Amino acid sequence: MAATATERKLLIDGEWVETGAWHEVRSPYSGEIVARVAKAGADETRRAIDAAERAMLSPLPAHKRAEILVRVAGSLGRRHEEVAQTICAEAGKPIKAARVEVARAMSTFTMAAVEARKLAGEMVPMDGSQAGAGKLAFTLRLPIGIVGAISPFNFPLNLVAHKIAPALAAGCAVVLKPASATPLSALLLAELELDAGLPPGWLNVLVGPASEIGDVLVADERVRLISFTGSGDIGWGLRERAPRKRVNLELGNATPVIVEADADLDDVAGRLAANAFSFAGQSCISIQRIYVQRAVYDGLLERFLPKVDALKVGDPADDETDVGPLIDGGAKDRVLAWIEEARAAGAEILVGGSLDGELVRPTVIAGAGPELKVSCEEVFGPVCTVTAYDTLDEAIELANGTRYGLQAGIFTASIKAALAAAQRLEFGGVTINEAPTFRADQMPYGGVKDSGNTREGPAWAVREMTEERLVVLEL
Ligand code: NAP
């Protein structure tokens, strides 16, 4: 183990628990053990659900929930660097991106506190029909019940925050299973929640075999909602297996961006370089497919490619690093194989396409046909394609030519083109003159088609995690 490696226990019913079995967390950059974490299985998962059920028998008033959420945001601010270093160590995320993630998680908790304070039902206009005359009716918004939360490796803090903060705002207890590769940020966040005064059972964190923990969350009827962020096959599979639960899915994308001839090319080139390769492309809205109007194709590449070449590849702990490792060797081999598939099919590698030490260099591919994996599947690596088009109709068709639909973007000076794209791009969100990688944490965020079936962002997630109860009063 590295000299700084730590041991972490699981959180069940407000207690830090050992199980006798351990899970090792390794640095994706050095391969060194960063920490070992107590390993949970089906028994611990059932105990966690029991604890969550007990917790919800004594509901916390909204103002207390909001106070806890605000305190967690404050702790994240005070321990900002420690939390960022944890993300960097376990995920291999460049430290400057990890610091941004911590700031974003503060925002997620702050916005969730706002939602806790204003959680309310609505009046029903009963005198609008003869049947309702003489009655008063309104709805209460009640917590849906226990939330089973399953999170991915790529935002190990903020995507956990997007589940546990709205759940507490809604008044729901949580059983959380973070990604096995990156459980340390989640456990640190759980520690901050306890320090902020969260009573036992409201948050339980389990690290261990995904299918074993997942199976219990699926089978146990007390878990009323599963909030899953990760890959499509696993997410849709969970949904099929739990037809009586709400199963909210935030899944992948093959993010397209359209660059019209009237766009500000210098601005666009900078934004594309920053948003196609950040965290080695391991963001669900990392720019993957760039469609450029033919008249400015060469002009954009002249500006874009040198910026890609200038990105610093290396140790994620280095303040200067832009692009670090992929999460593991399997991901690295898969991304290299997809680049090779494109090369073998006649596509041109304009930049990158090879390793820098053990790290995949930022790679730009031209002439990649739509059937190639780099075009139609989610790369989740530091790779993008560039393709020329003639008309906006053609660009929109190309952008829509995917089973995914999370976010897409367009750069243009024309309001008409921008609004046409906003209306016709089949995605959950469309950015105009901003990279589709943009996300502020209060936004409704989520996909259509294979990219998911829900919206996160505290206001939207709280709605999902509550149910309306109708109250009718005879006057
Ligand atoms: P993943 O392999 O699907 O894992 C996500 C989570 O699911 C992990 O906690 C994983 O646990 C767990 N899991 C795996 N098998 C399971 C099972 N049978 N039952 C229950 N849980 C199971 O995804 P990832 O590689 O961590 O993340 C990358 C994917 O997430 C990409 O597709 C990306 O686009 C997507 N993503 C989407 C969003 C969004 O908001 N739309 C945001 C970020 C990422 P283990 O780690 O223990 O295997």
Give the pLDDT confidence of 18-43 residue by residue, as tens digits: 999 999 999 999 999 999 999 999 99
Please name the amino acid found at residue 249: L
Return the exposure string of 403-426: e unless at least 16 CB atoms fall within 10 Å of the residue's CB, then b: ebbbbbbbbbeeeebbebbeeebb
Cβ–ligand 1 distance for 452 under 6 Å, the answer yes
| pLDDT of res. 5 | 64
> Please, which residues have CB within 8 angstroms of residue 470's CB and are 6 or more apart in sequence?
124, 137, 138, 139
Whether ligand 1 lies within 6 angstroms of the CB of 151 is answered as yes
Look-up of token digits 């780099």 = 374
Ligand 1, residue 451: give the atom nearest the CA. 41
CA of 173 from ligand 1 middle (Å) equals 21
Distance in angstroms (rounded) separating the CA atoms of residues 409 and 319: 29
Give the residue, by CA position, lying nearest to ligand 1 atom 22: 210
CB of 90 shorter than 6 A to ligand 1: no
Going by alpha carbons, the residue nearest to atom 48 of ligand 1 is 210
Residue 208 CB less than 6 A away from ligand 1? no
In angstroms, rounded to a whole number, what is the distance separating the alpha carbons of residues 74 and 441? 17
Q: Which residues contact 458 (CB under 8 A, 6 or more apart)?
A: 108, 111, 112, 114, 115, 162, 165, 166, 169, 441, 442
CA of 153 to the centre of ligand 1 (A): 7
pLDDT at 1: 44
Task: Report which protein residue has its CA nearest ligand 1's atom 14.
Answer: 210
Which pLDDT does position 4 carry in this prediction? 52
Identify the residue whose C-alpha is closest to ligand 1 atom 46: 179
Distance (angstroms) between ligand 1 centre and the Cα of 152 equals: 4
251 pocket-lining for ligand 1 (C-beta < 6 Å): yes
Q: Which mutation among 174, 231, 238, 328 tests ligand 1's pocket best, with the greatest number of atoms within 8 A of CB?
A: 231
Query: What is Dmax (Cα atoms) for the chain?
Result: 76
What sign for the dihedral angle of Cα 163, 166, 170, 173?
A: positive
Contact 230 CB / ligand 1 (< 6 Å): yes
pLDDT digits (tens, 9 = 90+) for 237-293: 999 999 999 999 999 999 999 999 999 999 999 999 999 999 999 999 999 999 999
What pLDDT does residue 133 have?
96
**Which letter, b or e, does each residue of 31-40 get, where b requires 16 or more Cβ atoms within 10 Å of its Cβ?**
eeebbbbbbb
Is residue 250 among the annotated active site residues? yes
Q: Which residues pair with 180 in a beta bridge?
A: none
pLDDT score for 56: 98
Residue 224, CA distances (Å) to 209, 219, 466 in order: 21, 10, 10
Residue spans of the chain under pLDDT 50: 1-3
